Structure 1
Amino acid sequence: MLTDAELHQLFEKLQLPEVGRARVPFIRDNPPSRAVRTNKASGKTRYAGIKMPFVVEAEAVSTEYAAIVEWDHDEETLEYYSQPQALKIAYLGPDRVRRITTQTTPDYLRITRSGIAFVECKREEQLERLAKEQPGRYQRDHDGRWRSPPSVVAAAEFGCLFEIRSSAANNWTLIENLELLKDFTIGEPAEVDGSQPPPHAVAREEACGTAWREGANQA
């Protein structure tokens, strides 16, 4: 994980505005804004990664889990946090007249070497349906990439990007190989110096653990 000095250096490189310099540390230092949801179409998964010192929850294997496995092993991603604070967005309804204002909670905040992005993960077929039901919110570019213009505007306020990751981007051969070889890529165990883990790591792990236990009790 980044040190405070490294994070500040990244902020300077990206020329992040003050609101972004406040929001990103807040997300890093606090538990997820809400518990990961689960339903008949998805099952909550807990991932113990290499880059993050705490368990990160994923809502579904085909969307969020696939994303964080790739991020955990690529060279671009530095950190990733589930369920960051909501963004306020506004867009035109299907009739192109009524203006809809709502809040949306991204699935992740992803900090990379070249930028900071809020990420929403969805199944390709779900995005195709949403593009018809909410054309002002979900759109496909000419190059085939999914976008959410109102979410892009909301994220830009913090100097961040907003990305939609479709399940169509999944490379299951790669993901399975990454999981298989994970133990070999970790390397030798780090020496323990007796120091306490970062407070935000403890807070997030306790929050995720509590949410997991509550979900198990309800099952």
Structure 2
Amino acid sequence: MTIPKEEAVLDGSVKTHRRAPLSRDRVLRAAVVFADTSGIEALSMRSLAQQLGVVPMALYKHVASKEELLDGMVDVVVAAIDPPRLEAEWRTAVRERILSARQSLARHRWACQVIQSRTQASPVVLEYMDSLMGIFLAGGVSADLTHHAMHALGTRMWGFTQDVFPTPEPPADPVARAVMFEQFADQYPHIIAIATAASQQKGPSAGEGCDEQVEFEFALDVLLEGIERLHQQGWSSTGS
């Protein structure tokens, strides 16, 4: 008897080894892994199909387009965010939820770009936002203040922020870096003063960049403390 390639003899018996059938979940998770390893720019329906060992048309049975594929990939990332601790105080619970979102995005560097490109929220995304609002409301924060809090959080609810202006990388060469900072300090002394103070460094080694995690948590804590203070004061957008 001839044993097909997908079969093998094990312990005297014939075992069948067939490729796992495609499913929407398998397609989405394979796309996430592909983007993690090869970059989101390299992802296409054709490249993903090749990775899965199928023809591109096989993917369209599970995702109708690349845009739907990207929506689903965001769902995979968002679904990995830790659920809120119901016993935690509302400010702590919000903080933990958002920092978990940041950890999820850190595992998938492409996700920030894709989230910003989405034009509508999926049920998974809406459930995350709903749960975040629910933490505020369960803590006694008014719907009015919660509305404004969500606006204040902005993209921080997803674990990332977008700088208003990108900061160019300083030259790697110490001498060139010193010259650049000297020239920059002549024109923009306050920027250099703040950058130097923030990094606790001086001279050529200054300006090596901020610790993004520290800055993210600082801003998040400032926002949450402000929201709590307004909550304690009984703040209302109507002023009454």
Shorter-chain TM-score: which interval?
under 0.3
- Normalised by the size of structure 2, how large is the TM-score? 0.21
Q: Which has the higher helix share?
A: 2
Structure possessing the higher relative contact order (Cα contacts under 8 Å, 6 or more residues apart) = 1
Specify the structure having the higher radius of gyration (Cα).
2
Q: Which has the higher strand share?
A: 1
- Normalised by the size of structure 1, how large is the TM-score? 0.22
